Structure 1
């Protein structure tokens, strides 16, 4: 059992690595070598990465790939994707090419509103509290002017502040529910700074409010924090074409493909077990672009899955229909993203990814990210309803299996050639590799 360590954060990077190796690895020398192998030889770049988080001991690499041929609102994009899962980039690229010949993707930003809340406890009546809130509302705005001044110059700021009564769910519990426009920044720090000032003003003004009893004056602030549930920061992405133009697989007619595709989406709309996996496929595309663009994929994931459950049951994010011979596939999802601040100005590959996309605004990035998710979903559903998901996925996974068993370049060539005409499975690849070696 490893003993507790005191003052670990004050150790140098070298000392941290040495301590980790000695206390957690059977071969400390080998552990140190592996961790240091991923240090960047550019000392300045490595220092930058070291300072992104605390207690850095090494770098953890993800491949950065690109999916070309995305036609979005008439404009061509090559989309950067940071992800480790086989076949995601290939599937997105294939879907992009498919729809580029059928009018491309159409997108619309439906809203950009973000939300933050001050959560507090108040022992009096809602009517008394509401009268107090109304009286101090101008002050809530005026005392945040130093925070909002620059954001207002860019067209953003505080949109609204409302008092919400939550006492039916938790005794004495109320909220200041505020909405914000943060333009090209994701806005977390801006929103949280405003909320903390709201809380301060709320508490200070309560002490002076003569209509409050002594008990009511002691409003208890629980916390002030933005919400990652942003149902009004919404983007729509869609594709459509005549059913007759869906022909691509010789083993299935256009009509049957469209019917099976729509049925597959309908199943995800009503069956949560399927919906979770269905939406995970959408997030394969979304997360990959979010990571490449330096945004917070955890916040986006949380908000999107909450959105999928907003009506009380977890359901599909995407939808499909055939009407009057036209196939339509679409999705509306919440995406709170930024193209300024955070890693966007610090991480060299994030800057490169954004430049690759034409240095988009936050609204443009919302549209690009949504399209990546829809393309990924289309590719997955096309495979599922025709050849099956494993045929393409396992062929892409083949190289991972070969690398796992340290195949030589010559062995890789022979195995790849063999599985051009044979079904790929983990055991099949291992058996064939062993037969070559024997």
Structure 2
């Protein structure tokens, strides 16, 4: 399968869908799911107090090569520039071999909080002495052990809080190919009485942590300076490369910039999570907590390597799964997983990291050269035309006029609609 599809964005929707179906070998029911997005009856089963549903555009980012394999990446997002940026970042990385990834493993942490402990440090020691009993009790719950996973370790900490010292027990759980929240929460609740006995305190919270720092995904790529040249700026590729590094340094030194830098990463990550039915809220929480572990900073790094290439890398927690939850129960999410065709949660996490890095790379390249609004407004012009009342057969023409005039405004769009429909 080749993820390089020149002119893909110029094709009509039916042709794009057929192209993806052919290249990914999708079954008819998967194609139907991509086109329909499910129904309100399904929505009623997935959530509470349902009165309807809201649909996001489901797009495909092209050009990705991840660990030597071409990948088409489904993205659910209402902002077209995000999909375009991911595809462009992937194209830049593709020229030097694409993205290389590695993942630290599918480990999630469950936390059991014990309060009102008379001697917290002694209680911590008792928990550690009994860690095998705690681990065995945790592994009596659910089906993770039968799939090769389960609680691998038990640790304990004394945490100094505004209400006094507390003992916090951590279950380190191999969740295999699941996101793991339900399995981990079941384990923490099961071992809570034993933790109370060991600490002599009262267990309050027992729940997983979304700071999944035992489940890190990393991606790397290189970009030649020549590939950073762009017709819309007079800066050379070397100058663009150096300004990208300066932009990263800005984020490394200033949390105000780092927040926006990381938002660029998560634009891509969240869109893939939504498309595949993964928990984008958990991923967001973990990513930003990880970025703040030593004072808030950027999740990615940009440097110049010994060959003069732009060296790009990213590391962030990635709590995603290929089984269970919405990923399995929603037909469109299942179809999106068919498009990705990954074999494990670790493989999926690597794709997520690559998409985040591609998104960040393309955004920084635009920011330091022609500016972020040039490309964004070109893509936004169709929305402006439609909102101004352009008939379907005139949307493209009105959008093209707005871009050509460099005047992408609702007022000008309304004038053009009136002019063209007289």
TM-score (norm 1): 0.82
Cα 1:429–1:103 change in 2 (3 A) is: farther
C-alpha distance after superposition, 1:125-178 (max 9, x if no partner): 135424532454333223233215x31232211121122112465424211122
Which of the numbers 63, 84, 89 marks the counterpart of 1:69? 63
The aligned residue for residue 15 of structure 2 is none
Residue 336 of structure 1: SS of its match in structure 2? coil
Structure 1 stretches of at least 4 aligned residues deviating more than 6 Å after TM superposition: none
Cα 1:419–1:401 change in 2 (3 A) is: closer
1:279 aligned to 2:258? no
The aligned residue for residue 194 of structure 1 is 187
1:81 aligned to 2:63? no
* Inter-partner Cα distance in structure 1 for 2:133 and 2:393: 74
1:240-251 mapped onto 2 (5 Å cutoff): 240-249=222-231, 251=234
Cα 1:98–1:242 change in 2 (3 A) is: closer
1:237 aligned to 2:219? yes
1:132 aligned to 2:114? no
The aligned residue for residue 94 of structure 2 is 100
1:155 aligned to 2:138? no
Stretches of structure 1 that go unaligned for 5 or more consecutive residues are 1-41, 207-215
1:145-224 mapped onto 2 (5 Å cutoff): 145-147=139-141, 150-167=143-160, 170-203=163-196, 205=197, 217=200, 219-224=201-206
What is the Cα deviation at residue 47 of structure 1?
A: 2.3
Corresponding pairs, count: 383
* Inter-partner Cα distance in structure 1 for 2:121 and 2:359: 50
The aligned residue for residue 9 of structure 1 is none
Residue 208 of structure 2: SS of its match in structure 1? strand
* Inter-partner Cα distance in structure 2 for 1:111 and 1:424: 49
What is the Cα deviation at residue 428 of structure 1?
A: 5.7
1:372 aligned to 2:355? yes
Provide the alpha-carbon RMSD of the alignment.
Answer: 2.2
C-alpha distance after superposition, 1:328-373 (max 9, x if no partner): 0111111111110101211000110001111431001101111111
* Inter-partner Cα distance in structure 2 for 1:264 and 1:135: 49
TM-score (norm 2): 0.85
The structure with the larger Rg is 1
Which of the numbers 280, 301, 318 marks the counterpart of 1:335? 318
Which of the numbers 268, 274, 290 marks the counterpart of 2:273? 290
The aligned residue for residue 57 of structure 1 is 51
Moved more, 122-131 or 335-344: 122-131
* Inter-partner Cα distance in structure 1 for 2:69 and 2:106: 22
* Inter-partner Cα distance in structure 2 for 1:370 and 1:145: 30
Cα 1:146–1:366 change in 2 (3 A) is: same
The aligned residue for residue 300 of structure 1 is 283
* Inter-partner Cα distance in structure 2 for 1:172 and 1:198: 21
Cα 1:369–1:424 change in 2 (3 A) is: farther
Q: Is the 8 A contact 2:382 2:396 kept in 1?
A: no
Q: Is the 8 A contact 1:186 1:338 kept in 2?
A: yes
Which of the numbers 340, 343, 354 marks the counterpart of 1:357? 340
Stretches of structure 2 that go unaligned for 5 or more consecutive residues are 1-35
Q: Is the 8 A contact 2:158 2:167 kept in 1?
A: yes
Residue 141 of structure 2: SS of its match in structure 1? helix
Cα 1:385–1:341 change in 2 (3 A) is: same
* Inter-partner Cα distance in structure 2 for 1:369 and 1:123: 41
* Inter-partner Cα distance in structure 2 for 1:245 and 1:414: 31
* Inter-partner Cα distance in structure 2 for 1:407 and 1:151: 55
Moved more, 297-306 or 130-139: 130-139
Cα 1:131–1:409 change in 2 (3 A) is: closer
The aligned residue for residue 5 of structure 1 is none
1:315 aligned to 2:309? no
1:425 aligned to 2:408? yes
The aligned residue for residue 34 of structure 1 is none
Cα 1:127–1:306 change in 2 (3 A) is: closer
1:116 aligned to 2:110? yes
